[in-house]
Each structure stands twice: as structure tokens, then as C-alpha cells.
Structure 1
Amino acid sequence: MIMDRLYKAAAESPVCVGLDTKIDYLPACIANMDTNDGEKIFEFNKKIIDATADLAGCYKVQVACYEALGLEGMSAYARTVQYARAQGKLVIGDCKRGDIASTAEQYARGHFEGDFEVDFLTVNAYMGYDAVSPYLPYVKDHDKGLFILTHTSNPSAKDLQEQKLEDGEQVFEKMADLVEKWGGDLVGESGYSAVGAVVGLTYPEAFADIQARCPHTFFLVPGYGAQGGTGKDIADIFKRSRCAVINSSRGIICAHRGKTEGPDFVDYIRDAAAAMKEDILQWL
């Protein structure tokens, strides 16, 4: 099962490198190439993957960064996910799809087949089970996985997600219970379901609550690095269980900025990924 593979990869390294690549992140040696922006972004990503493959447990690719560049960008997205997977790495398509029924079926087909095929997809399920069920045939029959937004890392997450319901529970708690339920018959040998949850590092009390509620749920954790999270913040999570991959995007892929514009940019990126891995593992 796909989550068993991610669990094993995360045991070696819980680092998820976020390829949320924008044009202004590129060093001059790539930005000045005589080609289109999509080609430049793919070249940048390819070099990052080559430099960090032995340090990363997986990669996350934020589709919005590529959609913004039109066809050139989506070509870069396709080539990036294909290249990472060809290196034997698991790839999370960070698309946060949130529609239902036949539309969600098309999203599932678009991201679990063909040019944009990834191993996991992030999904916004705040429209309920109808926003999840169209993906489950791929999870069950094609060894794919989901990460469902549960408690996100952004400051205004509490505006909705921490609101209390009539029974006294908070909205994110209800979502956590649903995620555990939806993935109940998809648990692998690792003890974790192919239906995982996105839970931000920036709300540690909420994370502890969710982790207690969801013993079979594996987590994709944003909030490290540029958003302020550190290895110490992860310590309590991993003391309870090795149940997560920790994403850093800008903290890794922008590590060269202000230091070099040359091809040695990959050295700074590799160093940042290695430092993140060390920062996390020192607390285990």
C-alpha cells in the first residue's frame, strides 16, 4: 500500500521538500537561460531533486505555482512530478481540490492518471464525503493516497476550523474524526491508512488532539521553516508516533537567495535540506 511506502521513506527521512517554485526563486544562472519560463522552472526543480533525493522522504509540488504560468508552467509541473517519480521518490500533488461528484471524478482522473500523475493528492473535504468519495476508487484499486485538510497552518485557520459546534467539539475535531473514519478500511501493514490528513505545525495543541483521535492517520505537516516551525516543535509529535512527513518549501528551495547566483546554488539547497533533517532527527 502507498502509505506503507511513505511510512518507510519517512522513517529514513521525514523531510518533504516542497517544490512550490516561482520564477523569482531562480538564480541568475537559470533565470538567464535562453528558453521559456517553464523550461527554467523544470531545470531548477530537476537540479533540486538531484541534489536532495538522498535527503528527502518525498516531494510536494504546489500546482498553483505552475498553473499561473499557463501551458509552459503545467508542462514544468508534469515533467517535475514525472522526474521525481522516475527517481523512485513519492510525490504529493498539492492541489487542494474541493469539488464534488463528476467534477471531483475528473480531478481524480487528472491527477492520478496521465501527464500529471502523482502518488498522493491534497483534498479539501469541507464539502463533506461527496468531496472525498470520487477519489477512493483510485486509492483502493490503483494504490494512490489522499491528504485531507484538517487543521491548516495559516493564521486565519482558527476563523472556521476552531469554531465550536453544538456538541462542544471544534470543527477541525469533527473533520479529524471523519478522516479517520473515511480511511478505516484502507489501513496498511504500517498501521496507517492511505487517507491521511494535513495538519499544520503552527497549532501544536490542535495537532496533539488530532493525533490522539486519529491513531491510523498519517500526517502531511506544513509550517516548518519559513512559517516558523522547528524540529523541537515536531518532537512531541514523533514521541507519540512516527506518523508524519514535514514539509518545507521556501526554507529549502530559496536557501541560495542572497548568497549566490551561480550553479553552486544547489549546494545551499542541499545544505538546507540536510540541516532540516538533522534538526528533526536530533529530537527523536
Structure 2
Amino acid sequence: MTIMDRLYKESIAKGPICVGLDTTLKFLPQYLISKDWSDGEKITEFNKKIIDATEDLAATYKVQIACYEALGLDGLSAYSATVKYARNKGKIVIGDVKRGDISSTGDQYAKGHFSGDFEVDIMTVNAYMGEDAVSPYYPYLRDHSKGLFVLQRTSNPSAVDVQNLKVGDQSVYQIMGDNIEKWGKDFMGESGFSAIGAVVGLTRPEEFEAIQDQCPHTFFLVPGYGAQGGTGEDIAEILKRSRCAVVNSSRGLITGHQKAGCEDEGFADYVRKATLAMKEDILQWL
């Protein structure tokens, strides 16, 4: 069983929800801010409480490393503690690190995020340098049940500047989709999906449906829900045809307590309510 098989099964059993732990200090409740702890320790506690409150609702957690790198070594300690805590609970963790280099550098990125202090189950990768930016991870996909989500059609507005450019009859993101399917052929799982998946945003549903047709063996990580405007209805047609995706929300979930005005130890209850509302919003259309 590949890691993408596991994620596929988790997305059906618990719902296609990815909780994004893109945690910064401004998201923390006041009771944590006021503690005489390091910033990294405060963020670690915040993340642990959220994981405890949502583990039965989430198929996976995505941890954006930039939020932790910005705090230096203390932040990286929080990143390490967070991914270890979630994985020790049996949860699948996506390291949102968007690495994109080749050869020996790519080898070191693979080692750094698929083993040791920062070990995750799936990494996000920028493959616009071609297969050389993906192949360093192949041994881990083959031997250690790891996976990749390769950037294909992202949710940010300026993605069109490059990803929608035409090369012959195809857009750049369509060419990337063909490559992702090709690269993934050697890493197919029992679910029919490869261990090499793709990042496709929810902000352009009509493009997503065409990508799904083009890439039948690709499992998707889908940003763009909530704060970026995506809804359960937007992903409905995709998931009706195939349970081929998990949908990520970060700010929309982990600030649930702020929207409710909660600054005490009960903050995670509101994050849970926001996660449950997201799950219900998506599943009502299926």
C-alpha cells in the first residue's frame, strides 16, 4: 500500500479534509501568548490542541514550513514537534515545503524531509525544472512509502502568468499534468492512484474538471477553500466522479476561535466546529 492509498482511504473514512497548520503567532489565543514560553513552544501547544480536537475529522494535516522557518531554530523545533506529534497519532502529514532543486541538492532535500527530525509522509515539490527536480525522491517513494504533491495548477491569482501560457495546443499546467502522470507510472497503488500527486487549486473549478479527466491516476491536494473563496459546491463534481482529492483549509480553520472571540483554553473547540462545518459543506454535495 502506498502513502496515497492510505490517504485515499482516510479521505473516504473521515472526509476529504486537510487541516493546514500554517501557524503564526497572530493566530494564537491570548492565554497562550501570555505564557512565559518561547514562541516555538506556544505554537507547538496550539498545534497539538488542534490535532487533538480534529483528528477524527481530518484525513491529513499540512504543515507550511515557512511559518516555522520565520522564527529561526525555535520555529523549526516547533515544526519538528508538530509533525512528530501528528505522525505518532497515526495521522498522515504533508510537509508543505515546495522544494524544487536537482541532483545532489534534491537528494539532500529528500533526506531532510523524508527522514530525521523533519520527517513527513508527503512533500510538496515544485517541478518546473523538470523530472530532475522529482527523481531525487524516487527511492523514498519506492522503498519508504513516501509521496509527493507536485505543483500543477495553483490557486493564486498570478498563476495565469505562467501556468496558463500556451505551448502548442496545451497550457503549461496541462503539460505538467501529462508529466505528473508519466512520472507516477512506476509508483501506482492499489487504489489506482500514483504516489506522485498534484496540487490543483479550487479557485477555477472548470479547469480542475478538465485536469481530472486528463490525469486519472493522480490524487490531488486542493488549496483555495475558505479564505481564498472556494466552496464545497466547487469541489462537488470532482469528488462525485472520483474521491481523488483532499481539500485544504488553513486560516479558515485555525482562526475559528478568533471569529468566535475565544481567547482561552477552549479555543480548539471552535477550530473543531469550523472543521466540522467544512466537512459538512463538502459532503452535502456528494
Task: Return the TM-score normalized by structure 1.
Answer: 0.99
Task: Say yes or no: does 1:233 pair with 2:234.
Answer: yes
Distance 2:125 2:279 in 1: 27
Residue 191 (1) aligns with residue 192 (2)? yes
* Structure 2 partner of 1:223: 224
Q: Which residue does the alignment assign to 1:130?
A: 132
How far apart in 2 are the matches of 1:213 and 1:280? 23
Root-mean-square deviation over aligned CA pairs: 0.6
State yes or no: 1:90 paired with 2:104: no
Displacement after TM superposition at 1:203 (Å): 1.3
Determine helix, strand or coil for the equivalent of 1:179.
Answer: helix
Deviation at 1:187, TM superposition (A): 0.9
Matched residue, 2:152: 150
2:111 paired with 1:109: yes
TM-score, normalising length: structure 2: 0.98
* Structure 2 letter corresponding to 1:183: G
Deviation (angstroms), 1:239: 1.6
Q: Give CA deviations for 1:145-165 in whole Å, capped at 9, x if unaligned.
A: 000000000000001000001
Q: Distance in 1 between matches of 2:31 and 2:181?
A: 46
Q: Which residue of 1 aligns with 2:270?
A: 268
1:70 aligned residue: 72
- In structure 1, the partner of 2:7 is 6
1:174 and 1:203 map into 2 onto residues whose CA distance is 17
- Name the CA distance, whole Å, in 1 between partners of 2:207 and 2:98: 21
Residue 280 (str. 1) matches residue 268 (str. 2): no
| Deviation per residue, 1:223-261 (Å, 9 max, x gap) | 001111110001011122100000000000011114111
Q: What stretches of structure 2 of length at least 5 have no aligned partner?
A: none
The match for 1:212 is: 213
Amino acid at match of 1:52: T
> What letter is aligned with 1:73?
G
Deviation at 1:210, TM superposition (A): 1.0
Contiguous gaps of at least 5 residues in structure 1:
none
**DSSP-derived class of the 1:185 partner:** helix
Corresponding residue for 1:250?
A: 251
2:228 partner letter: Q
2:61 is paired with a residue of what secondary structure?
Answer: strand
In the TM superposition, what is the alpha-carbon distance from 1:21 to its structure 2 partner?
0.1
Equivalent position of 1:54 in the other structure? 56
Aligned counterpart in structure 1 of residue 122 of structure 2, from 113, 120, 123: 120
Q: State the 4+ residue runs in structure 1 displaced beyond 2 angstroms.
A: none
> Amino acid of the residue matched to residue 97 of structure 2?
C
